[in-house]
Amino acid sequence: MKFEGKVVISSEINKVWDFISDPEKIIQCIPGIQEYSVGEGKRVTAKIKVSIGFIKGVFHASSKVLEEDSTKYTAKLSLTGSGAGSGFNGIVDIKLNRMDGSTELIWAADVNVSGPLGSLAKPILEGYVRKLVEQLFDCVRQKLA
Amino acid sequence: MSFKYIGKPIPPHDAFQKVTGTATYTIDLELPGMLYAKLVTSTVPHARIKKIDVSRALEVPGVVKVVTGRDYPYRVGMYAGDRDLLAVDKVTWVGHPVAAVIAETLEAAEKAMDLVDVEYEELPAVFDPLEALKPDAPLIHEKMEEYRHSPAFKPVPGTNIANKFTLIKGDIKKGFEESDEIIEEEFHISHVSHCYMEVQNVIAHYHLDGTVEIWTSWQNVAPVRQIMALSLGITHNKIIVRIPFVGGGFGGKAGLGWEALVAILSKAAGHRPVKLVLSRKEQFSSAAVREGFHAFAKAGFKKDGRFNAYNVKFILDAGAYADYTVNVGRAVGYSADGCYEIPNIYVESLTVYTNKIPTTALRGFGYPESHWVLEQIMDRAAKKLGIDPAEIRLMNLLKPGHSYMGTGERLREDAGDPKKVLTTLVDEIGWGKPSEKPSHPWKIRAKGLALFVKGPAQPPNAASSAILKFNEDASIDLLIATGNFGQGTITALMQIVAEEFGLPLEKIRVDYVRDTHKSAYTWQTVGSRGLFTDGIAVLGAIRDAKKQIFRVASEVLRCPEDQLELVDGEVRVKGKPWEKIPLQDIVMGYTYPNGNSVGGPIIGRGVFMSTHTTYLDPDTGQGNPTIFHTFGGTAVEIEVNLLTGEINILKAVEVLDLGKVINPLLVKQQIHSGLIMGTSISLYEQIKFDERGWVINPNFTSYYLARIKDIPREVVGRFIETPQLDGPYGARGIGEHTMIGVAPAIANAIFNSIGVKMNKLPMNPENVWRTIKEQRPDLVEEAMKKFSEHRETVEMII
Amino acid sequence: MSFGAPYFTLPEFTYHKPKTLKEALELLDTYRDEAKVMAGGVGLVAFMKERLMSPSHVIDIKEIPELKRVEYREGAGLKIGAAVTLSELENNEIIKKKYTALYQAIKKAADPIIRNRATLVGNICEALPWVDGPIPLIAYNAKVEVMSLNDVRLIPVSDFIKGPVEIDLAPNEIATFIHVPDPPPESKSTFLKFNTGSEFALATMAAHVVGSVKPKEVYLVYGAVSTKPVRASEAERIILTSENIKEAIVEAATKASQEIDVVSDVLASEDYRRHLIKVLTINALKSIFEVS
C-alpha cells in the first residue's frame, strides 16, 4: 500500500534534519516501542507492541538507511519486520523543504504486510499502518515545535 | 483354489492399538535428558544472510545452544542433492530455516526463537516458474553443478531448471500433419499439502561414540540412513533409525526429512537427545508440499477418433528445493500418455525452482498431474469429433501384449485388462443413461469419467528383502521394513505368511517399530510398491524357510523332500498324513528321543530385485521404467449448482485391475480414502501465496480440507483380477491409484454437460462460478432467473 | 481458529476463577489492561497461542451463577448470560420457537464440539468479520449489558462492535448479558450461511421482518462480507415501500449486493461475495414472504 503526506514543522531546516537523521531521536516517536538498539550504519532493531482494537501483538522490526543526502535533505529508509506469523516490509522516502522559519517535511511510504495476517486482515492492517506513519510524523512535528 | 486368508476381508492387524489409543507415535516419545528445538525461519523470499545475532536468544533461561547454517554447511538429498540443513549463505523462500534454538523446555525455545535477529540483504525474487525460466531470471541455485544428484536426472546449471525430462516417440511434426483435429489448451494445478495428522517430528541422539540414534515420523528407515551417511560422512551401521506408528505419510514423508538437522543439533547441544516437532504452520510453510504446475498441451486426432500426436510441456513449480520433485517431474513426463497408444509423442517436463516453499511427492506422484491434462484432452476430442467419450477411449486403449507405451516399453501380456476396466466402469455408472432430474432447476446433473494407469516410479535397482524367523511355539516374527502409515499392507503380508504355513493369523507378528538394525532392507514404501516388492521378498523368505524345514523333516521322516507338505502347522508326508511332525518340533531344531539333535533355528530370507526395468534414455525418455502397471478408472455423477458453483458428488465409481485382491477390506478402504483425498484436492485444497511468496493460509482454518459432508454420497468399488504373473499371488499395487482419476472425471462431467472447460484446480465454488460465468454467462443468468422465479416455498437451500 | 503461529505453548499467565460477579469485577478493576475475561476461551486461547494477546491474568467467569442462566420473560424478552454455551442455547425451546434466526445461526456455528464450549457473548466480543452471532442479534435489536464495579451500560450490539477486533468495552468492564427484545407478534426471521469449501462463512445473512403481508419493519443484516456486520438500508427501504413484495424481492437483493461495502480476502473475492449476497437475500426474503 502506498501513501504519502506532509507536515509543517516550526523549526529551521537543519534542526529538523538533525532530528530525523538521528535514530535515537526519531525512535522516541514510534508508538509502542518496547526496546531498541542502534547498530552500525544507523541500523535500528526494535521490539514494538502493536495495538489494534483489543489485539496486542509484538513485532520485531528493523530499519536501515538506504540513502541519505544532507545537502539535498533527502533520505530513504527500508523497514522490515515480523511478528505473529506475518511480516512486513517497506520503503519510506523523506524530503525536507526550506520555508520561512519553518520546514516542510514530505514523506512517501510503500509498505506491504505479508503472510496470513496480511491477507486475512488486510483492510484492518492498512488502516493501522497508515495511522502509525501519520502519528510518527506528527510526533516529530510536536517535538520540534 | 480356496484360501483361508488370501482374498478375505481381514481387519488391519494394528486397528485395535490405534483405536484404543495405545499405539505409540514418535510425537509421544520422550527420552531422558531430552532438549527441545524450534526453528527460526526466513521472513524474506530471496536474500543473502548478512549477520545472525543470537545473543538475546542465548540470554533466555533454559536455552542451551543456537545453531546456524554456517556452523554446519552440509548438503543433503536423494535425487537432486540441493537441500541445506539450515540456510548457509542465503535464504531462498519465506519459511527457510535459518537457525535452530535448543532449550531445556519448549517454553524457553519458543521465547528464544523470536529473539534471534537476522540481517538480510534482499535479492530479486521469482515466484512464477514461467518467469523463472526467462534468461534474465534471478538464479536460485547458483552452485547447481556442485550438487550430488542421481544420474537419472538432468539439472541444467546456469538456469532454474532442476530437472529436464524429455519423452520422444515417433515424429511429432508428421503426427500433427496427419491429424484432422488439433486441440490446444493450457492447464494449471495449485500447490496442496499432504495434511497428515501427525506433523513431521524427529528425536535424534548423537552419542559421544559417534553413533546416531533417530526416532522419526517418516515412511521408511533406509533412505534416512542412506542419505545421512552419504551427506554427513558417517558409516551406515553407526546410524540407527527407528520408526514407530506413523500418523500418515501420503508420500510427504519419503526420502530424508529433518533427521540430519536434528542429529547435528544433538551433537551441538552436547550430545543430548533433541526433539524437533513442526507446528502445523511450519508444516505448511517450511516443510515440503506438493508442487503446482502449468501445462501446455497440443493434441492431434484423426477424424475417426484415433489419437495421433501428443505434444505437452509440463512446467512444475517446484519451489526452493526440488529433491524429490525432480522424480515427480520425470514421472509426469513419462506418464503423459496414460492408458493410450499414441504413435507420435513429444513431452517435455521441466522441474523449475522458484522462491517458494520446497516441494516433494504426494500420493499419485505426478500421475494426477499428467492425467488432469490427458483425460480432459480425450473429452475435448470426443466432443469435437462427435464421438462418445467412452468410445474414443476404447478406440485408443493400450492392448497388453501388443501395444508400445510412450517410453517404448512393450506392454506385457499380463499387465491387466484395461478394456474390461472401461466396460465395467461404463456399466456401473450407467453411462449413456441420463441422470435423474436435479433437486432444483438451477442445478444440473452430469456424468464424467477418466482412466489411468500407474506403476511405481523407482530406480531400477530399488530392492526389497524379508527375514522370517520362528519362535519356539512355531509363531513367526516377520522382520520387514515395509512402511506402515495407514495402508494396511502389513496385514496383507501377514496373511500371505499365515496362508503359506497353514498357521493361524495370530501366530504371525510384525513389530510396529521399523529399525535399520532389526528390519530387513527395503528401498522405500512409496509408489504403491509395498505389496508387490515386499510381498515377493516375503514369498522368497517363506520358500527359503520351507526348504530348511523340509530338509530336516525329510531326514526325520525318512522321506524325499518333494513328498512332504505343510498342512495346518504340521509337516506331513503326502498320502500318509499320520506321518507328521508339528512345526514346533522342527523350527528350533529337531531332537530325537535319545537327545540327538539335527537342524537348528529356521530363518528364511527372500529378496526382490527388478531384473527388467532400465534407466530411461536422458534425451528421449525411452526405456522400461516400471515393474507393473495397474489400470483403473474413475467415473462420477455430480450435481452442480449453477447459482453458487458448488459441486456435489452423488456417486463415484472406481474400477481397478488389481491382479489379485489379497484383502478386499483394505482395498475398499483404499478406494474410499483415495476418493476422499481426490475429492478434497479437486474441489477445495489450495495453498495460497501472496506477492512476497508467503503462504497466507498455513492452517486448517483457511486451507480447507473436505469434511464428511463434502465426500461422495455413494461409492462403488469394483475389482478385476487379471493376474500379474510375477506378482505375489498375482497381485499389483493400489495405494495411489484411487486418487488419480477423480479431478478429470469431475471436470469431464462439467464439460460434457455444459461445455465449460475447467482447466484449473481446485474447482471450489468461487472458481467454478467464475469459470462458468466467463464461458457460459447465459447459464448463470438463467440460473438466477429460475431461482428468483422459483414457485415453491424455498427451504433453506444454502 | 489459527493464523500463522508456530507456537505450541501459551504465554505465561495467572488463572483466576472468581465465584461471584463482584469478585470478577474487582479482579478486573485491579488488573485492567493486564487481564482478559474468559468464558469458553475459544477465541481467547486461540489469540493467546498466536501471541495476538498475552494477558498476564485470565479471569474465568464460568462459575458465576447468574452468568450461566438463560431467562425469558414475556414482554421483556431473552436474557442470555455470558457463560451460557451455544449448545445450551441450541437446546432452548423458546429460542427455537420465537427467535428463528438466532436459533439457525447457533445451530450452524462451527461444529458441535466447539458449540459445547463457545458462548454467544464471547462470539460477539471476538468482533471478527466472520462470526455469526452478531448477525441475527442485530436483526432483533439486541443489546449487550456491560458492567464495571461502579457502572452498568446497555449498548446495541450494532454499536458494541465498532470495527474488526474493536468493541466498546473498557479494560475494567465485563460483557455480562445479551438482551434480546421480545419479537413483535407478526415477526418472521431467518438466518442463512454460505460456507461451502471454507471453515469460515463467505457470506451470512439474517433477515427479520415484522408483518409479512405489509411489512412495518425490515432488518437485513450481513456478516462475513465486510470488516464488521452491515445492514442493507436501501434494500430494506425497497421492501418497506414496495407495493408488490414478490416483485420487490429481486430488486432489493440486487440493491443489497451493490450498496454494501464488501471485501476481498484470502477466502473469497469481492465479486463472488456480492453475488452470494444477492442469492442469500432472495432466498431469505422468499422464505419469509413464502412466495408461492
- What ipTM, to 2 d.p.? 0.95
Q: What are the pLDDT digits (tens) for B286-299?
A: 999 999 999 999 99
**How many structural domains does chain C have?**
3
Helix or strand run (H / E) with residue A122:
helix A122-143
Residues on chain A touching C127 (C-beta within 8 angstroms): 53-54
Of the ranges A42-46, A133-137, B766-770, C210-214, the best mean pLDDT one: B766-770
pLDDT score recorded for residue B798: 44
> Residue range C286-291: average pLDDT?
81
Q: What is the pLDDT of residues B711-724, one digit of tens each?
A: 999 999 999 999 99
**Residue C249 contacts B, CB cutoff 8 Å:** yes
pLDDT given at position B795: 57
Residue A31: its pLDDT value, please? 82
What pLDDT is recorded for position A43? 87
Statement: residue A24 has pLDDT above 80: yes
Please state the φ and ψ torsions of residue B215, each to the nearest 5 degrees: -115, 130
Comparing CB atoms, the residue among C2, C8, C269 nearest residue B701 is: C2
* Interface membership of C197 toward B (CB under 8 Å): yes
What CA–CA distance (Å, rounded) separates C22 from A46? 41
> Neighbouring chains of A at 3+ CB pairs within 8 Å?
B, C
Q: How far is CA B338 from CA B333, B361, B580, B760, in A?
A: 10, 19, 53, 20
Judge if C137 and C81 occupy the same domain.
yes
Q: Do C122 and C220 fall within a single domain? A: no
Residues C96 and C170 in one domain: yes
C243 in the same domain as C155:
no
Above 60 in pLDDT, residue B797? no
Nearest to B270 by CA among B69, B110, B103, B105: B103
- Pair B225, B255: CB distance under 8 Å: no
Assess contact for B761 and B188: CB atoms under 8 A. yes
Claim to verify: residue C163 and residue C214 sit in the same structural domain: no
pLDDT-derived band at A7 (thresholds 50, 70, 90) equals: confident
C30 and C74 in one domain?
no
CA separation for the pair A66, C67 (Å, rounded): 57
With 90 as the cut, is the pLDDT of residue B758 above it? yes
pLDDT at A34: 87
- List, for residues B1-47, the tens digit of each pLDDT value: 789 999 999 999 999 999 999 999 999 999 999 999 999 999 999 99
- Partners of A90 on chain B (C-beta within 8 Å) are none
Strand ranges, E, within B266-377: 274-277, 289-290, 292-301, 307-319, 344-353, 359-360
SS3 letters across B486-541: CCCHHHHHHHHHHHHHCCCHHHEECCCCEECCCCECECCCCCCCHHHHHHHHHHHH
Residues C112 and C47 in one domain: no
Claim to verify: residue C172 and residue C72 sit in the same structural domain: yes
List the CATH number of the domain containing C157.
Answer: 3.30.465.10
- Euclidean distance between CA atoms A81 and A36, whole angstroms: 13
* pLDDT value, residue C87: 97
Domain boundary among the residues C180, C215, C245 is at C180
Chain B residues near residue A45 by CB distance under 8 angstroms: 117
- CA–CA separation, C118 vs C216, rounded Å? 35
Cell numbers given for B790: 422459483
Interface check for C190 against chain B (CB to CB < 8 A): the answer is yes
Q: Do the chains contact at A62 and B698, CB–CB below 8 Å?
A: no
Cα–Cα distance, B654 to B669 (Å, whole number): 12
- A43, A114, A120, A125, best to mutate vs chain B, most B CBs in 10 Å: A114
Q: Cβ of C272 and B766 within 8 Å?
A: yes
Residue B794 is predicted with a pLDDT of 58
Tell whether C23 and C83 lie within a shared domain.
Answer: no
Per-residue model confidence as pLDDT tens digits over C89-144: 999 999 999 999 999 999 999 999 999 999 999 999 999 998 999 999 999 999 99
Give the model's confidence band at B102: pLDDT under 50 very low, under 70 low, under 90 confident, else very high: very high
C4 falls within a domain: no
Query: Is A137's pLDDT higher than 90?
Result: no
d(CA B303, CA B301): 6
Q: Are the beta carbons of B696 and A120 separated by less than 8 Å?
A: yes
Which residue of C51, C162, C266 is in closest CB contact with A120? C266
User: Which of C147, C162, C180 is the endpoint of a domain?
Assistant: C180
Q: What is the pLDDT of residues C135-192, one digit of tens each?
A: 999 999 999 999 999 999 999 999 999 988 899 999 999 999 999 999 998 899 999 9
| pLDDT for B588 | 97
Q: Hey, which residues does A92 pair with through a beta bridge?
A: A77, A109
Q: Are residues C18 and C45 in the same domain?
A: yes
Shared domain for C40 and C131, answered yes or no, is: no
What does the pLDDT look like over C193-205, one tens digit per residue? 999 999 999 999 9
Best mutation target among A120, A122, A126, A131 (most C Cβ atoms within 10 Å) is: A120
For residue A126, pLDDT over 70 is answered with yes
Dump strand ranges (E) for B629-743: 630-641, 647-657, 714-720
Chain B residues closer than 8 Å to A58 by CB? 114
| CATH number of the domain bearing residue C227 | 3.30.390.50
| C2 occurs within a structural domain | no
Tell me, what CATH number does C27's domain have? 3.30.43.10
CA-based end-to-end distance of chain B? 54
Boundaries of domain holding C202: 187-289
pLDDT at C292: 44
Domain A2-144 has CATH 3.40.50.300: no
C45 is a domain residue = yes
C46 has a chain A CB within 8 A of its CB: no
Report chain B's mean pLDDT, rounded to a whole number. 95
Flag whether pLDDT at B554 surpasses 80.
yes
SS3 per-residue string spanning chain C:
CCCCCCCCCCCCCEEECCCCHHHHHHHHHHHHHHEEEECCCHHHHHHHHCCCCCCCEEEECCCCHHHHCEEEECCCEEEEECCCEHHHHHCCHHHHHHCHHHHHHHHCCCCHHHHCCCEHHHHHHHCCCCCCCHHHHHHCCCEEEEECCCCEEEEEHHHHEEECCEECCCCCCEEEEEEECCCCCCEEEEEEEECCCCCCCCEEEEEEEECCCCCCEEEEEEECCCCCCEECHHHHHHHHHCCCHHHHHHHHHHHHHHHCCCCCCCCCCHHHHHHHHHHHHHHHHHHHHCCC
Q: Is A43 in contact with A27 (CB distance < 8 Å)?
A: no
Tell me which residue in C4, C5, C196 faces B765 most closely, judged by beta carbons: C196
Of A52, A58, A116, the CB nearest to C51: A58
Determine the Cα–Cα distance for residues C246 and C240; give it in Å rounded to an integer. 12
Residue-level pLDDT at B793: 56
Helix axes B742-754, B664-683, angle to 10 degrees: 60
d(CA C154, CA B774): 49
Of C180, C207, C229, the residue at which a domain comes to its end is: C180
The beta-carbon contacts of B227-236 under 8 Å, at least 24 apart in sequence, are B227/B76, B227/B77, B227/B78, B227/B255, B227/B256, B227/B260, B228/B76, B228/B256, B228/B259, B228/B260, B228/B263, B230/B148, B231/B74, B231/B75, B231/B76, B231/B77, B231/B260, B232/B74, B232/B260, B232/B263, B232/B264, B234/B210
**Interchain contact C54–A (C-beta under 8 A):** yes
Domain positions in chain A are: 2-144
Same-domain check for residues C155 and C254: no
Chain C partners within 8 Å of B683 (Cβ): 197
Tell whether A86 lies on the interface with C, counting CB pairs under 8 A.
yes
C267 chain-B contacts, CB cut-off 8 A = 702
